[in-house]
A and B are shown apart, each in its own frame.
Chain A
Amino acid sequence: MAIIGIDLGTTNSACGVWTGQGVELISNRLGDVLTPSVVGVDGSGEIMVGRTARQRLIHHSDRTVAAFKRLMGTDHKVTLGDQRFSATELSSLVLRSLKEDAETYLGEPVTEAVISVPAYFNDNQRHATKQAAELAGLTVRRLINEPTAAAMAYGLHEKQEGLFLILDLGGGTFDVSLLEFFDGVMEVHASAGDNFLGGEDFVDAMIDDVLAEHELSRDALPASAMQNLYLQMEGAKRRLGNAQTLSLKLGDREVTHEVTPEWFARVVTPLLLRVKHPIERALRDANLHPDKVDDVVLVGGSTRLALFRSTVGKMFGRLPSCHLDPDTVVAVGATIQAGLLARGEGLDDVVLTDVCPYTLGTGVINEDNPRLGDYFLPIIERNSVVPISVERHLSTASDNQTKMKIRIYQGENRLVEKNVYLGELSVTVPKGPRGQESVIVRYSYDMNGLLEVDVKVESTGKTYYQLIEHTPGALSEDDKARSLQRLAVLKFHPRDGEENRALLARGERLYESSLGDRREFIADLMGRFEQVLDRQNPLDIARVQKEVKEALDSLESEDWF
């Protein structure tokens, strides 16, 4: 049975399968390779995923959500209509849709996948991704880091050896990986990144500047006006090359706004500085001068920004390269990894070695200055090659202590509270004077970037495994069963007819955002379309579908939507 490769992106997702000859990207029910990572619930409670849902983001924003990858690994929930979803559940709906598309394409059930995650994703976020897959009925064979996947695709494509810096700026995350390719070995030297930096933040920065200029706050505008602003700014961001004048509706005011490359550069400078920091950090960690890098490879839709390219170009004294489609290269890499795991034919043997991008450790009492809180004791240092397993001895901090709580953290700050909390486990130790009892804490970090911790009490020899509790965003077995039950009763839009629904949703969006004659024209067009759909004559439907699509295309200013 095939293992599929999936890029589960903030903005877009895609999947593929290895076919002996090469990677085959799988088109979804609408014939697109990219499925927008947008989930919506319609009036009757049915779930939709992808382009149809994205069309509804503006006028049904209370029933539609996008960019929820940001919430992975947290306990935040999103309400759509009258249902409440966790980010894990929302991701599982996207995965489920991809899985169905793959099953239709392959003509057989699909149960295993390689899923890409940002290299800088923390342990909570990785666990959440794995659980999302499980909720969608997929077993994760491997979580692969997105830049590593991109490098795989790139390395195999270019057959070029050397030292590469992969920069992946997508919709919501930024990743930097420094890796070397030689003799069929792909070795990651260092990874760094920012989990909250991507194309959506650039749009947010633009909007914040406009709102500040007109002395408005985000809350002052109704949700649909905000969504419309996002859409307009997103379009403007993609067309930066030529100066544009946007007319924006801010509440009851209609204003015009000049979008120029200079304005954009000024507004996003803080974000570009945040792009530079992880790049510098990765080079510092690998103890390398930028000149040593043979090629800088750009991945992710936001690397299309000219300003991004020139900023990176200046750091390295040359223009970065991007020979592969930045939108799909991660999916291609994930698929190659899936092919390797299945020992697929026609694949040169490549062995991948990766690193753990964060320092992992635990809290220890800070005796010099208790006021500051506990110190962070690193156990696995960042950029250690994985899989790795490290042991540390810890002893009791007070007399007659009977219980030791091992709190697990990830991060770089020397104060434990400033790092990401991953969970904790408690062990019972025999009573004794302070420092007499000790435990061996072992951290094991696997190929998927998932952490396991076990603790052995030295005097009793008792070992505690897998007892990590209170992990943010994680589902216990009970939660998972409950979640599965809940998702099982959800109704989904049937696969066929999706094209028509996408068109209807698009027509509705255009209708809502148009005025006067144009509006009437659209109403008329869509009315006719609905009539034909009601008659259910496939030939007629196909003909009118094409007509409607063309008519809408001619009205649409946002060609990327």
Chain B
Amino acid sequence: MDPWRVLGLEATEDTRAVKRAYARLLKSTRPDEHPQQFQALHAAYKRALGLAEQRARAAAAGDTEPETETAGKRTEKASTATAAGTQPIPPETPEWPAPVVPDDPPAAPVEPEPAFQDQPPPPARDPEPAWAAAREREEEREPEEDEWLAASREHERLLTQCQALLEREGQPAEEKEWRFLANSAWMLDSAFHHGLGDALMARLVERLRQQDNKPPLDAVILAYLNSLFDWEGRRGLLAARFGDTAMDRVLAPLDTNSSGDQALLQGLRGGKETVPPSRQANTEPAPETLYFTGMTLRMVAIVIDLLVVAALLVMPIWVVSIVVADFNGTGGDISLESFMGVFLILAAPAYLLMALVMEAGPGQATPGKRMLGLRVTSLEFERLSFPHNLWRVMAFVVVNALTSKVVILVNLFLKGNLLHDRVSRSYVINWARSQREQKDEQ
């Protein structure tokens, strides 16, 4: 959409007019009340502002035809244009209202100076280091010559020390041996600090090449140096100079470094103790690929479960029957037959009850399944709710009790997703195997 129409303006080079029109419309298109219209208005505003600036520039250059076509991409274009610096760009009309502050910034250079990122600082051994320019602007300092000398001497001194640490044989340097860098008073000087950071990075890249692409620094030291030089933040700039892969390799150890909690707890005052978050469910993510549990394992699980049930039931039945027998005056003599009778009547319900409770419990498995590393889940691979599991248990009873022989036969061909699983919309997952395969893959 035409940004000028949205703003109700004729195409203009007057950025002030664009702002005024935007401000007026904004009062009736508040971001909190009309979010969508606001986004459209804001986009139009930004575009119009870009177009107006471009027109102004073109007008100043005597160019009558502004390139409206590239205007939409103002931000990207603007930076590449300045970085490439192929064409001298004429001075802009002031983009912002004139400042009222008495101490104005030093007069703006005729050619718009690029922002920090547009121009990679010159290489460290550049005959005219970056700080020289910065130095010149600061008048309250001592004679420039001395400053400049002092800075380059300090630069060399620190760099030599770094080199020594990098090349030291045997014991690799510890973090605290690098602290000398922060002790230099020069570090707070922007140009010096960027120059040093980049020069050190150049050494690291060199080192990387010498050592067959082995990262020259470990995670801890790299994290420390990164906190001084913001290499990660300036990655784009550095990559432009040293190449993407080299930067990836040098900075790779940062990716394994996690000192999160430490930063968090630093600065906290008081308290008897702090309790870290309990490591819960999401610290152990589900494996990417899950496997069903085959027939054999399922049978084994049931056998184990029945043994467990038996072990649990034998004692109580025995005790009860002795008491009952005593009471009946049969003198504590119980027949194996009646014992087995009672056991068989009780075993099936006991098994089902156990399945009902435990499969919907936190372990998601009966003892047998648990021993084999199996888990009962919903179709979303989550724990079943109790009603859902009740449905599952009932499906198990109905399906297997009605047509047991046929079912077993059919089940053999179902690859672990058995009939009663299907009826009850649940899965029995071989969690242990899924985890194992995931690990092997990595």
Contacts and interface: CB of A to CB of B under 8 A. Distances in A.
Contacts of B255: 372, 413, 415, 417-418
Interface string A187-230: 00000000010101100100000000000000000000001001
A293 B108 CA distance: 12
A441 B228 CA distance: 38
Interface string A429-460: 00000000000000000110000000000000
21 contacts: A61-B270, A65-B271, A66-B270, A67-B269, A76-B265, A78-B271, A79-B273, A161-B97, A162-B99, A183-B20, A204-B266, A269-B184, A270-B227, A270-B228, A274-B227, A277-B233, A314-B189, A318-B103, A428-B380, A447-B31, A470-B281
Nearest to A284: B117
Contacts of B333: none
Contacts of B213: none
Given A66-B269, A277-B230, A428-B380, 18 more contacts: A57-B269, A70-B265, A75-B277, A183-B23, A185-B22, A196-B266, A227-B270, A266-B183, A273-B187, A274-B227, A276-B190, A288-B115, A294-B100, A351-B23, A351-B31, A353-B42, A417-B255, A470-B282
A162 B97 CA distance: 6
Contacts of B187: 269, 273
Nearest to A270: B182
Given A180-B96, A198-B267, A79 B115 contact: no
Interface string B377-406: 001110000000000000000000000000
Contacts of B288: 398
Given A402-B379, A403-B380, A76 B190 contact: no
Contacts of A466: none
B183 A79 contact: no
Interface in B91-114: 95-97, 99-101, 103, 105-106, 108, 112-114
B278 to A, nearest CB: 8
Given A269-B182, A289-B115, A402-B379, A351 B30 contact: yes
A414 B92 CA distance: 36
B27 interface: yes
Contact of B268 (A67, A276, A472): A67
**From A161, A204, A472, residue with most partner B Cβ within 10 Å:** A161
Contacts of B183: 266, 269
B1 interface: no
Contacts of A66: 268-270
B413 to A, nearest CB: 19
B26 interface: yes
B27 to A, nearest CB: 6
A4 B360 CA distance: 48
A373 to B, nearest CB: 8
B185 interface: yes
B78 A77 contact: no
Nearest to A201: B267
Interface in A262-277: 265-266, 269-270, 272-274, 276-277
A200 B265 CA distance: 11
Interface string B296-323: 0000000000000000000000000000
B325 to A, nearest CB: 52
Give the one of A78, A84, A371 with max B CB within 10 A. A78
A248 B379 CA distance: 64
A24 interface: no
Interface size class of A (residues with CB under 8 A): 35 or more
Nearest to B95: A292
A352 B27 CA distance: 10
Contacts of A525: none
B274 interface: yes
A183 B19 contact: yes
A472 B277 CA distance: 9
Nearest to B108: A291
Nearest to B269: A66
Given A79-B273, A274-B227, A196 B117 contact: no
B27 A184 contact: yes
B277 A292 contact: no
Main SS of the interface on chain A? mixed
A318 B99 CA distance: 14
Contacts of A315: 190
Interface of A: 38, 57, 61-68, 70-71, 74-81, 84, 160-163, 172, 180, 182-185, 196, 198, 200-201, 204, 227, 230, 265-266, 269-270, 272-274, 276-277, 280-281, 283-284, 286-295, 311, 314-319, 321, 349, 351-353, 371-372, 385-389, 398, 402-403, 413, 415, 417-418, 426, 428, 446-447, 470, 472
A287 B184 CA distance: 30
A122 to B, nearest CB: 12
A183 B23 CA distance: 6
A184 B25 CA distance: 11
Nearest to A315: B190
Interface in B32-66: 32, 35-36, 38-39, 42
Given A67-B269, A162-B100, A78 B227 contact: no
A209 B179 CA distance: 12
Nearest to B441: A370
Interface string B2-39: 00000000000000000110111011001110011011
Contacts of B22: 185
Contacts of A277: 230, 233
Contacts of B240: none
A318 B268 contact: no
A91 to B, nearest CB: 13
A288 B108 CA distance: 13
A65 B274 CA distance: 10
Closest 9 CB pairs of A and B: A75-B277, A183-B23, A200-B267, A294-B99, A62-B272, A66-B269, A387-B35, A65-B271, A78-B271
B435 interface: no
Contact of B26 (A57, A185, A316, A371): A185
Contacts of A371: 442
Contacts of A163: 96
A353 B31 contact: yes
Interface string B246-279: 0000000001000001011111111111111110
Nearest to B23: A183
A305 B215 CA distance: 39
A233 B270 CA distance: 16
Given A280-B230, A283-B116, A387 B31 contact: yes
B35 A200 contact: no
Given A183-B23, A291-B108, A76 B277 contact: yes
B79 A287 contact: yes
B276 A76 contact: yes
B257 to A, nearest CB: 9
A526 B35 CA distance: 60
Interface in B184-208: 184-185, 187-190, 193
B75 interface: yes
B125 interface: no
A207 to B, nearest CB: 11
A398 B290 CA distance: 12
Contact of B269 (A65, A81, A284, A294): A65
B73 interface: no
A265 B105 CA distance: 26
A281 B237 CA distance: 12
B105 A318 contact: yes
B114 A289 contact: yes
